[in-house]
Amino acid sequence: MKSEGTQLVRRSKARKYLTVSAIVVGMIFGTVAGVNAQYVANFARRISDKLSNERGQTPSNGKLHVILQLGSPPSGQLNALLRRNGVRVRGNFDQLGIIALDLSPNDLDELAAHSEVSFLSQDEKIAPFGYVTSTTGADAVRTQTTSNGGLLGTGLLATTTTTTFDGSGIGIAIVDSGIDQSHASFSSRVAYSKDFTGENRTDDPYGHGTNVAGLALGYNSTYGGIAPNAKLINLRVLDSNGVGTTSSLLSALNWILANRTTYNIRIINLSLGTPAIDSYKNDPLCKAVRSLVDAGVVVVAAAGNNGKDVDGNKVYGQIHAPGNEPAAITVGASNTFGTMVRSDDVVTTYSSRGPTRSYWTDDAGLKHYDNLIKPDLVAPGNKIINAMADQSSAYSNFLVMNNPSLDAHVTSTENKRMMYLSGSSVAAPVVTGAIAMMLQANPKLTPNLVKMILMYTAQPLAGFNNLEEGAGQLNVEGALRLTKLIKTTLTNSTSVGSALLTTTTAPSPQTTLSNYTFPWSQGVIMNYTVVTGSKLMTKYQKVYGTGYLLGDGLLISDGQLTPDGLLLSDGLLISDGILVADNTSWGGNAVFTPSGLLLSDGLLLSDGSVFGDGLLLSDGLLLSDAELDADAQIEAQSAMVNGDNTACMPAIRLNY
């Protein structure tokens, strides 16, 4: 039998429960017993609308661990409830307007009845997902020399300036399982460390965070990070077993929002996550990420490692939270097969695919899925070697101790040892390091400009669709080249369509690495569609400012997506959908629509892909409803993967 605590998360049952309890709550607040039925129904609906979608938490010692989001400052009545015996406030994240608390399931309806409360959800379990400098193009642009050529008749001689782009001065917050600061890869670049797990340690007994940090900014001549001279802020939210909670992650994000200027934190790396159930409009992690992005901090999130089921079949719709937040830069994993040339690169089979299947439920009990196109791009994340946390004691590096094959056996010197890891959690810090290089070159870039540049310059991989690779694979060479041309005088007041570059000559939209030339995607994913055109990189778009999403500014009229003219300029090509497959048959004969349909709810395609009952066709036809319960698509485990098929660590337990 389900415990009473599941009333928070089983909305279909909660409606019946709340209809009755609304009368009780009404009495508590002085409503007469003869309240009419319509009032009771409306009151119950208002309460139910504030409760998270189904997740199934069982109370611990009779208490639920709850995340409360405030829409306005708490009143005296709400404060009295929070001070009541049996209610325990575990964390007050004032920068985010969020409170973590423990309470009885019987107190939920009364809590939700307060007008200041905007949403209630569970304190979910968080878990990690799990020679890049050459193949990404970072080495190709690491050191650059410029010359002024001298000025005739002035007596000024020609001078040259050499700049090393290595993330200097940029603060990167690695929010993970801690960092082994004694490792030679980090030297003295750890500017600050803080523990949010309650274990009162900031080292890395689990072994994940050290590897992640090494990929972003570790210093090693052979297995270095992308931005080896950036500043490292070590925020530990995963415990010795690699498990964290929503509240611990929120606490770290709240700390960043309050202290970002002190340490010049410009980027946050989140190589962790939890199943995306609630719509990004309600999910507390997504809302925290949005607050940080609006404040000018770039947030990089791993997509997840649920791209295939236990039988190896391709699965869509498994992007994790907070990677389902549209403001985040969500990163999937690619496989370079250990070569420097990019012509053979592919998306790994395990990298989570879109669309996002988080949802909200209307009054009729129908689910409305977000269906955002994710990931935003992919980066090398298969069998990558980098820093290995100390394994000298019985309580160190859980991952390697339980999976000895992860030891790369590069050296026996403890503080220089290296390990293998695979997954989107490995790919994410590669992108994080690239962003540090970009922000060093142009500190005025907003998070949205960073995101645009990364997608516009990405390399589309042959045979993969946008729900698998986003815009394509990370291209540091192209991203830095475009970054250096972007004006540093842009503000939210800059007019749409103004010149974006310092030059009238746009950069050539292609890159050559290891004698292989590939084109840029020249497109940007905007929530439900792909926008292409050179004006994305030559004209200022209002959505590049803070406080906007890249998906803002698109209008749907008669089945066509068009820019509204206020946030997006003309001259952009907006597809009427999204590429859902490439040379892959659907059912046996028909090929997937080649140019991106607008996604809605519920259509189950033959290969297990989750799309929608509202695919928008050019002739206006609407496919019939075939709603699929999102729970049927959720896999029961998430494994760090070694290669395409072999798990390199035990399945990580995630609480659904």
| Contact of 415 with 392, CB cutoff 8 Å | no
Check if 123 is active-site. Answer: no
As a whole number of angstroms, the distance between CA 141 and CA 150 comes to 24
The backbone torsions φ and ψ at residue 334, rounded to the nearest 5 degrees and listed phi first, read -110, 165
Q: Count CB atoms within 10 A of the CB of residue 84.
A: 13
Q: Which long-range contacts (CB under 8 A, 24 or more apart) does 12-19 make?
A: 12/365, 14/48, 14/51, 15/44, 15/45, 15/48, 15/365, 17/109, 18/44, 18/47, 18/48, 18/109, 19/44
**Distance between CA atoms of 335 and 643, rounded to whole angstroms?**
9
Q: Give Cα 437 distance to the centre of its chain.
A: 20
- 546 Cβ neighbours under 8 A, 6+ residues apart: 293, 294, 295, 296, 446, 447, 448, 492
| 281 within 8 A of 321, measured Cβ to Cβ | no
- Per the listing, tokens 């939700």 go with 112
425 is catalytic: yes
654-to-253, 512, 641 alpha-carbon distances in Å: 21, 41, 16
Residue whose token pair is 């523990």: 195
Determine the 3-state secondary structure of 626 from DSSP: coil
Question: What SS3 state is found at 294?
Answer: helix
* Burial of 169: CB neighbours in 10 Å, binned 0-12, 13-18, 19+: middle
Does 320 qualify as catalytic in the annotation?
Answer: no
**CA neighbor of 556 nearest in space, from 577, 571, 583:** 577
Residue 196 to residue 239: CA distance in whole angstroms: 9
Virtual torsion, Cα 380, 385, 390, 396, nearest 10 deg: 60
Question: Contact 307/315 with Cβ under 8 angstroms?
Answer: yes
- Beta partners for 121? 67
Please tell me which residue in 208, 278, 424, 601 is annotated as part of the active site.
Answer: 208
166, 176, 283, 390: which one is catalytic? 176
Cα–Cα distance, 80 to 604 (Å, whole number): 48
**Tokens standing for residue 292:** 């940080």
Distances (CA, A) of 255 to 124, 178, 193, 292, 565: 19, 16, 12, 11, 38
- Token pair of 33 as six digits: 């017993």
Q: Phi then psi for 417, rounded to 5 degrees?
A: -70, 150
Residue with tokens 């033959």: 606
Integer CA distances (angstroms), 414 to 52, 187, 554, in order: 46, 14, 54
Active-site option among 271, 279, 425, 609:
425
- Angle CA 542–544–548, to nearest 5: 75
User: Annotated active-site positions, please?
Assistant: 176, 208, 425
